[in-house]
Amino acid sequence: FSKAWQLMFWALFDQADMENFGKTHPRYKITSETGKFLFAIYLIFAVVVGINMLIAMMNNSFEYVAEDKRCLNWKMSRTAMWLEFTDKADFWLPPPYNILHYLIYFVMHIK
């Protein structure tokens, strides 16, 4: 039974000894063909699972890069907004305190 596990393991890496599949007694023809069929199903299933894992890893990498790009865009937008805020002469105080600025500006223009 351990030889079967070894054969399945090494078959994933294309290192299986496939010569033993051709040597069967005519009495066990159905069992031999069933074993070949199940072995083929196993290999197909292993390849499909491997491809799905690769797709999942690529998707994860793509999401990581996209999230990093969104974070970078957000940082750039925030910096641009701060630069615009600090460059304007009208807004030299943050919003709760800029009322004082407008009151002083209003009083100076009334005179």
Spatial separation of the C-alpha atoms in residues 77 and 31, rounded to whole Å? 68
Give the helix ranges, DSSP H, for the chain.
2-11, 29-87, 98-110
Per-residue pLDDT at 20 exceeds 70: no
The 10s digit of each residue's pLDDT in 39-63 is: 888 888 988 999 999 999 999 888 8
pLDDT given at position 49: 93
Spatial separation of the C-alpha atoms in residues 8 and 3, rounded to whole Å? 9
The 10s digit of each residue's pLDDT in 84-106 is: 777 765 556 677 777 887 888 88
